[in-house]
Amino acid sequence: MTWDVALILGIDGLANGAVYLLAGLGLVLIFSVTRVVFVPFGDVAAFAALTLAAFETNRLPPTIGLVLTLAVLALLTEVGSLIRRGEHRQIPKALLLWGVLPAVPCLLAWLAARAGVPASLQIAATVLLVVPIAPLLARVVYQPIADASVLVLLIVSLALHFLLSGLGLLFFGPEGSRTAPLASGSLALGDGFTVSGQVMLMVASAIVLSGLFFLVFERTVAGKALRATAVNRVGARLVGIRPARTAMLAYGSASLLAGLIGVLIAPVTTMYYDSGFIIGLKAFVAAIIGGLVSYPMTAIGAIAVGLVESFASFWSGALKDVIVFSLLIPVLMLRSFLTPHADEDEEEVDQ
Amino acid sequence: MKSLMTKTLTRCAVAMAVLAATASAALAADLKVGLSVSLSGPNSSLGVPYSKGMAAAQSYKGEINGRKVQLVVLDDGSDPTTAGRNARKLIEEEKCDVIMGTSGVPAAIAMAQVAKETKTPMIGLTPIALDPADNPWVVTVAQPTQLMVDAVVERMKRNNVKTVGYIGFTDAWGDLVYDALNKATAKAGIKVVSNERYARADASVTGQVLKIVALKPDAVMTGGAGTPGALPFLALQERGYKGGIYGQHGLINPDFVRVAGASGQGALMPTGPIIVAEQLPDEYPTKKIGLDFRSAFQKVNNAPTSDAFSAYSFDGWMVFADAAARAKGEPGTPEFRASLRDAIFSTKEVVGVHGVYSFKPGNLYGVDERARVIVKLDNGQWKLAP
């Protein structure tokens, strides 16, 4: 291995790491607020990539159908629970929130799906279109069982992943797609060594978004409410924070992150209806390194996973994933030695 | 929607065939062909063309020696177990004289077991990996992988390639192509310098490609299939690799062309001559029937054909039609099936759209060098590269 090979692998690893970082942030955000390991995160990212590919070929993205179906389900769930509680007066508000609001990005996407619409608008429409997916899923599936144990929530997440990837096959078909690069051009570093614009864009987005995350959590009321819910659900409720509302905020932000990931990786990776899972899984390794609570540790973990993956593919392409997932074992052992074991789950179940 | 419609149509067709069979049982016995393919499930993108090609073949040659030929089509849902059950249904309930299928190799093997057990001839449409001595009732119209890879290596030799790097799938397909490449290059005096692998679902092959580029081989051979097969082409282009890139028939697929884009420009790969039927020289043995197949397909299915799969169905039918004309006995009886098997294994120079078939006992495959041409990807189109 020479220096330039190491450099190319390093850049490739950083680009992958940037994607895992964003995905890891989303996973940690949802887990800390709702105790749900959101397995379908990667699927949402894959849907974003395939939506953009549909836009590029001037087809109406099938995601619109998916979002509208989920919106109808969520609306029915919400109205049903309002009627059961006898709060009929809340129904128009529910219609507006669960019926009309998710339909807005669908309308935008429908308008953007024609020839001659600039690529930047289509990208924006793509990201907006996938934003409602996670909150709608959460309203239908997770909210009614919000107080279940972590294990139950995890299994529901897994089931949801299989459901979504099945829907992905139905909506997008079995073949993969790639989109045009967002940033053309490249930066020359020394002789014969270049970094493509797309890779720089990926790394830059990861840095900017993590910065934004930090600011939101430290400086805004919504961010502080999210943190409070993450620290203690019951305590947060006592001081007037609604866990259901903060959960929706977390799902919405995570969905937004997934959309950005999809748009960022679509030009460099052939995306299939089920490619999201492996991205989610590697981000999960990163999140585990951060103990599913710490954002900075997750970021470090994500970069490490990206770099290990890149170098492993050079040494042994066939064993690449084996090497990446083997990282989990020493990390988990180290964590279980270092942190005192606290069984918080049991307390939370009986509320 | 479309697959649902084909499914309904197929079901209607099956029902009609059953009705027709019971109604005409008293009349002169018809010949019966049983086809099991994947009309639903992940293999349906192959299964649907297979069944359309068979319909075209039936309209092209629907009568043999004054006997009508009936076609019974069943859907195996891309599941090998269902394929085996379908084979049994076709033979025991429908009393088919020959079974054909299917779109996946494991499912075809399941069907072959039933064919052997019930002593019914089977014409496979995929490269089935079976011991011919153990399966005296089975032949296949597909080209063996070795034949295809041999053609690639011959072309490498002609282009003065001395060293070749290999990158392929981590699965059975990658192994099959790698073994065939090693066998062919040993004879041609070409050195294989690398054996890099990647999984179908991988996002990047930068590491593997860097390793290949560092070895500076004269050419790179890829062992992938479909859209994931485009990954090495994209990575090699990104790293500015200037040598020739060769593929194999697993990449002859419109979705590969779409994803590979400009990085596939100039890639050479082997395929059956039907893919470039219009560009073949007039004296090529399969040209005329190839064009006939195109027009028969257009007439029956109201759509043009550009894939290799429907053509395998057509060839299976041609092999059956030739053998059935020579077989003795009354269709639907064990004697006729045995005679049909002997006739299939004495097939000589039957011209199909993929090649010229001659089957011998002890060999599943019946094609020779005429069943392959080298094509070049030029601006998203396959061009014959003689």
Q: What pLDDT, on a 0 to 100 scale, did the predictor assign at position A89?
A: 86
Looking at residue A349, its pLDDT comes to: 44
Q: How many Cβ atoms are within 10 Å of A335's Cβ, its own excluded?
A: 12
* Angstroms from A2 CA to nearest CA on chain B: 10
Q: Give the pLDDT score at B13.
A: 55
CA-wise closest residue to A146 among A243, A237, A223, A255: A243
**Nearest in space to A213 (alpha carbons), one of A162, A170, A250:** A250
Looking at residue B337, its pLDDT comes to: 93
Task: Give tens-digit pLDDT for A15-37.
Answer: 889 999 999 999 998 998 888 99
Report the CATH fold assignment for B145-271: Rossmann fold (3.40.50)
In a domain? residue A307: yes
pLDDT at res. B9: 55
- Cα(A48)–Cα(A31) distance, rounded to whole angstroms? 22
Q: What is the pLDDT of residues A309-325, one digit of tens each?
A: 989 888 887 788 888 88
Q: What is the pTM of this model?
A: 0.76
pLDDT tens readout for residues A277-288: 889 999 999 998
Domain presence at residue A103: yes
Strand order in the sheet with B268-271: B191-198, B163-169, B219-223, B244-246, B268-271, B373-378, B381-384
In a domain, A345, yes or no: no
Is beta strand B67-75 parallel, antiparallel or unpaired with respect to B163-169? unpaired
Task: Give the closest of B45, B197, B258 to A174, CB-based.
Answer: B45
pLDDT means per 10 residues, chain B with 386 residues, are 54 54 54 90 79 92 90 89 93 93 84 93 88 89 91 93 93 88 92 90 84 92 88 89 90 85 90 90 92 92 85 94 91 92 92 93 90 91 89
Where are the domains positioned within chain B?
A: 2-142+289-370, 145-271
Domain of A296, CATH number, reads: 1.10.3470
State the residue range of the domain holding A326. Answer: 3-182+192-340
- Check residue A350 and give its pLDDT: 41
Quote the CA–CA distance of B107 and B79 in Å, as a whole number: 7
Domain assignment of residue A318, yes or no: yes
How many distinct structural domains can be found in chain A? 1
Say whether residue A14 is in contact with chain B using an 8 A CB cutoff: no
Task: Tell me the fold of B2-142+289-370.
Answer: Rossmann fold (3.40.50)
| Closest CA–CA distance from residue B203 to any residue of chain A (Å) | 5
Among the ranges A128-132, A237-241, A345-349, which has the highest mean pLDDT value?
A: A128-132
Residue A319's pLDDT is 84
**Which residue, among A165, A268, A314, would best test binding to B if mutated, counting the most B CBs under 10 Å from its CB?**
A314
Chain A from 275 to 304: CB within 8 A of any B CB: 275, 278-279
Percent of chain A scored above 90 by pLDDT?
A: 35
Looking at the complex, report in whole angstroms how far the Cα of residue A16 sits from the nearest Cα belonging to chain B: 9
- Structure tokens given for B302: 């109201």
Q: Evaluate whether residue A213 is within a structural domain.
A: yes
